[in-house]
Every structure is written in C-alpha cells, then in structure tokens.
A and B are shown apart, each in its own frame.
Chain A
C-alpha cells in the first residue's frame, strides 16, 4: 500500500490543478455545514449563558424577545420605552433588586448603556483600570471596545447622532472615559456604560447652556424675561461636553421619574418571589415580565429547526459532490485505461490498480480533511469574538 500511496501522490502532484479543484470541492462541501455548526453552537452557548445569568426582565408589552435582547444584548430594536418610575415600582412589587437599562443610543456604533452602578455588581464586572462613573458625562467602556477604538482612561468618545439629517435633533455628547472594564467575554465588552442620567442628556432630556440669569441682554440671546421664566433664542450656546466648569448648568426639564428607560433587570430573592412577581405583572396592560432564558431558548429552538433545512441542503450538496467526484474518477479511469493496461501487463494486479485509485481518493480527501481541520481550528479561535460582536449593536 505504501508504494500505491507513493505512486498516487506523484500522480496528484503531476496533475496539480485537477487535484486542487478536487480538494477544494471536498473542502468547501464539508466546511459549510461544519462552520455553520460551530458558529451556531457558539452562538447558542453564548446567548443561552447570558440569558441564564439574567433571571427576569421587565419592560413594555410587545415582543418579549425584543425586550430580552434589549436588556441582555443592548439591541435597541423595537423595544418601547417605559418610565423610570417603574424601577421603584418593581422594588415595591417585591424585587430584591431592579436595575434600569437605557439602551437606545450608540457611540461610534457601540451601544451606550445607561444604567446604575448596581449593574456592574450584578454582572460581576470589574475595572481593569480607572474608576466607575460618578458624574454626568462620564463613562466606563468594555475591554474589546477599548482595544478596538484604541481609547483608554482619560480619552473620550462621542455619542452618535440619531439622524445626521435632523439638525434640530439632539447634539452628540462627549463622554469622558473614566474606567475600562476587565474582559468578560460577553456583550459588556463592547458597550459604553454611563449613568442613566447621562443617557437622558444624550437623548436631549437634560442639557447645559450658558448662564442667562444675568440681567444683561447677553447680546440678544434672551428674548423675554419674567420673574419665573426666561425665554432664550437659538443663539444660546448649549454644551456638548460636560466639564467640572459647566456641570452646574446641566439640568433636566420635567420629572425624572417620567423619563424613559428601555428595560429593567429584575432580581428576586428566590424562585417563589420571582413567581409572585411574575404574577403581579401578568395582568398589567402596559408592562410585561419575561424570563430571558425562556425567550432565548425559544429563539434557538426556532433557529435549530431552520438549521435542519440547511443540514438537508448540505447533505444534498455532499451527495452531488460525491457523485461529481465519482464521475471525475470514472472519466479519469477511462483516460488512464492505457496506463492501467500497461501496469497490468507489467505484473500489476487489478487489486493494486484499485489500491492506486483508492490511495488517490484518500490523499485528496486527506488533504481536504487537513485543510478542514486547520479551518475549523482557526474558526474556533475567531468565532468566539465574532459571535460576541454580532450579538451586540455594531
């Protein structure tokens, strides 16, 4: 058999182009379903693990999956906002902890998550360097984001405008990076965390501008002034960065309890409390209580059902490729009939001729399998980050 492999190898090397095409056929046919399986498996593992770490989420009625994806992967999607007052309400209804999530905006295409410091404790997120946000305009960034954008403590990141064509829309806000998180291999690595009040400033619900209390005309910037009301013109300068010097000027119009958030992570003391809590929301006409693990498992079960069609497709492709290879082999045998006949006349058995063919097939399949192993190895290395990155807003 060793000699058969040597001869087969020489044949393959001589017919490089044909052999490469055959190797590519086998390699690509096998790669597609295997790569899909790896990616889907990684996706499933990560999304389920993240969901399992989040006991329950409260948000506006509608798609529970959208709500879950907003709360755990910061996807803004179509999640409707709820009032910030619901955080206090949730605590009153029996939740041990209620963590607000405001995930609507982005900064350089990374999600800006408005929340409280409790979130870091809940997710076991620790600082690699710097401090947590303490003031308006400060942010803590995920490790992958820091690496990707090459920013660190002391730098800043600017929030994206929601619509560049809307000049009257909210202005971008400069967010000062005060801390960088340790890597957690989760969507948190790709997020910009700010205090929920900073998120409201980005949304335009709070702002800072030059002081207009001075009795001077201020160059026509004050249109009218009464005892309790000053009407200013558009010429008044609004701040796009929050600094110690202008921080005092930042203020919110209205009651912050009425301000929006997109979801609340609800943590009950135990399973019983959680069930009671769920019951309290079951009849609520505007709010829903959902368990991310149930939503995500339902989603994945749908994904795996769809995957069966792809599996069937891959099997059909594999069969057609095998038939094509068989055809190539048969045509090759016909082309090599004289060579085989000569070998037979020189004392080669039909069995050895079969061995030669078998050795060629094994080498082709072996090389393809080797390449496949390399590809799978490479994919296994990069797929983790890749899956994490597609699970967050980018």
Chain B
C-alpha cells in the first residue's frame, strides 16, 4: 500500500531533517493498522504530511497504491488527498459555522473533483449513514460547539471516511480526549477502517493505546515492531 524509499525531507530554514531508507505499510491488498510513536519533533506528523502530499520530499519516492506522490503536481496531490486519504486531527478541526452533516460533507464542498454536484444525494446519504453508525444520527443539525469532545472527534472520523478513502491518517486522534473516550474513539476508528479494508496510520504519544495495532513504528528508538529499523531494512532517522 505505502512504499517509501530513500526519502529525505527538510523544512526550509530549519535544522529538522527526516531521513527514511525504507518504510512499507500494508501489502498485497491487505490493510494494516500501524501506530507511529515517538517524542515531539521526531517527525511523526511530518511523515503523515509526506504520505498525504501536504509537503514534498527533497528526494526519494513515496508510493501510495499505484501512485507516486512525490512526482505529482500540486493539483494532483490535492485531488489524490481528497479521494484516497482520510485525515483525522488531534483538535478535530471541525468548521464552527457548519453543522454536523455539513462538516462531514466538507471534503465534497471544497473539492470539485469529488463531484458533489453529481453525487449530492449519494454523498448526503452516505454522510447520514456514517453519522448513524457512530451514534450521531440525532445531532446532524447541531454545530460543533453544541457537541462533546468525543462527539466532535466522531464527526471528524465520519468526515475522514465519507469519501471512502484507501488510507486513514490520524494525527493524535485521542490526544484531546478523556481515557474513556480515547478507547471508544480508537475502537471506532479500528471498526470503521476494518469494515472498509482501509489502511490506518495513527500517530500518537500515548503508548497506552497501542493494543490492537498490527505494527508500531517507534521514531525514538528507530525500531519497528521491536526490531531495529536498520536491521529490518526499514530506517527512520531524524
């Protein structure tokens, strides 16, 4: 699913440097649930941004499915992001002036390539179905400030899933939640991504939620699944 080779990335006017010799997530049509852990500033979020095409590497290749993200134009990367990737953020990042339904449908409203005009009815139905599956069916007309934190993150998960992407990238999705909600949200993400056979990459600080992931990539120890990246052939350094 994701193949990263010889990747070098550096932010302009910054000492930060991320280098990945080889990293592979999911294969042979098999979805995988991967946790990325490590200290702040180690490059976890940058890795997600690189996979999503939000930032581009200095060199190296990033393949998602059969597409080379690093060689795409800006417009292609946007369309790729809209269609193939669902993103979940730590602070939910819901749009305050839109209600639950409109927030879930936001990816369609902001990117014409998803074709909301022609699929309006289908998209709305799918959004309602998703909201129903996460227990928000009675709160479709509410605005984010009328929801609890857990409910807001559920809306964000629905927004990530509504385009039926191949890959879910979640950046600290439980970072702003209480312990009870952490488990509920994580289970929800697992359940939804498994139901759609979607590869899931979750960046987290919280080592207490790593149960249930197929693999853990540790940016601090440069280990993947307890094996040193270099010896496993996967190398991540920063």
Contacts and interface: CB of A to CB of B under 8 A. Distances in A.
Contact of A348 (B87, B93, B111, B117): B111
Given A346-B87, A347-B111, A339 B95 contact: yes
Interface in A208-251: none
Interface in A308-363: 338-339, 342-349, 352
Contacts of A346: 81-82, 87, 106-107, 110-111, 159
B79 interface: yes
Contacts of A10: 97-98, 102
Q: A-side binding surface: helix, strand, loop or mixed?
A: helix
A3 interface: yes
A15 B97 CA distance: 8
Contacts of B117: 2
Given A345-B54, A347-B78, A347-B79, A11 B111 contact: no
B107 to A, nearest CB: 5
A7 B79 CA distance: 20
B98 A348 contact: no
A394 interface: no
Nearest to B85: A347
Given A3-B112, A3-B116, A10-B102, A347 B96 contact: no
A328 B133 CA distance: 41
B176 to A, nearest CB: 14
Nearest to B160: A346
A6 B83 CA distance: 22
Interface string B96-110: 111000100011111
Contacts of B74: 349
Q: B-side binding surface: helix, strand, loop or mixed?
A: helix
A351 to B, nearest CB: 9
Contacts of B97: 10-11, 13-15
Contacts of B93: 338-339, 342
A347 B81 contact: yes
Interface string B2-30: 00000000000000000000000000000
Contacts of A6: 109
Nearest to B94: A342
Contacts of A342: 89, 93, 95
A10 B143 CA distance: 12
Interface in B52-100: 52, 54, 74-75, 78-79, 81-83, 87, 89, 93, 95-98
Contacts of A347: 78-79, 81-83, 107, 110-111, 113-114
A182 B233 CA distance: 103
Given A10-B98, A14-B96, A345 B81 contact: yes
B46 to A, nearest CB: 13
Most chain B CB within a 10 A radius of its CB, from A2, A342, A346, A349: A346
B110 A3 contact: yes
Nearest to A342: B93
Nearest to A349: B78
Contacts of A352: 110-111
Most chain B CB within a 10 A radius of its CB, from A11, A338, A347, A352: A347
Most chain B CB within a 10 A radius of its CB, from A11, A14, A342, A344: A342
Nearest to A9: B97
Contacts of B82: 346-347
A6 B112 CA distance: 14
B165 to A, nearest CB: 10
B110 A343 contact: yes
Interface string A1-42: 011001100110111000000000000000000000000000
A349 B79 CA distance: 9
Contacts of B75: 349
A31 B219 CA distance: 63
A269 B52 CA distance: 92
A343 B89 CA distance: 12
A338 B93 CA distance: 8
A316 B82 CA distance: 45
B98 A345 contact: no
Nearest to A13: B97
Nearest to A10: B97
Nearest to B80: A347
A344 to B, nearest CB: 8
Contacts of A348: 78, 110-111
A342 B143 CA distance: 17
Which 9 residue pairs of A and B lie closest in terms of their CB atoms, listed nearest first? A347-B82, A14-B97, A348-B110, A342-B93, A347-B111, A347-B81, A3-B109, A347-B78, A11-B97
Given A3-B110, A345-B89, 5 more contacts: A7-B109, A342-B95, A344-B54, A346-B159, A352-B111
29 contacts: A3-B110, A6-B109, A7-B98, A7-B109, A10-B98, A11-B97, A13-B97, A14-B143, A338-B93, A339-B93, A339-B96, A342-B95, A343-B95, A343-B106, A343-B110, A345-B52, A345-B54, A345-B81, A345-B87, A346-B82, A346-B110, A346-B111, A346-B159, A347-B78, A347-B114, A349-B74, A349-B75, A349-B78, A352-B110
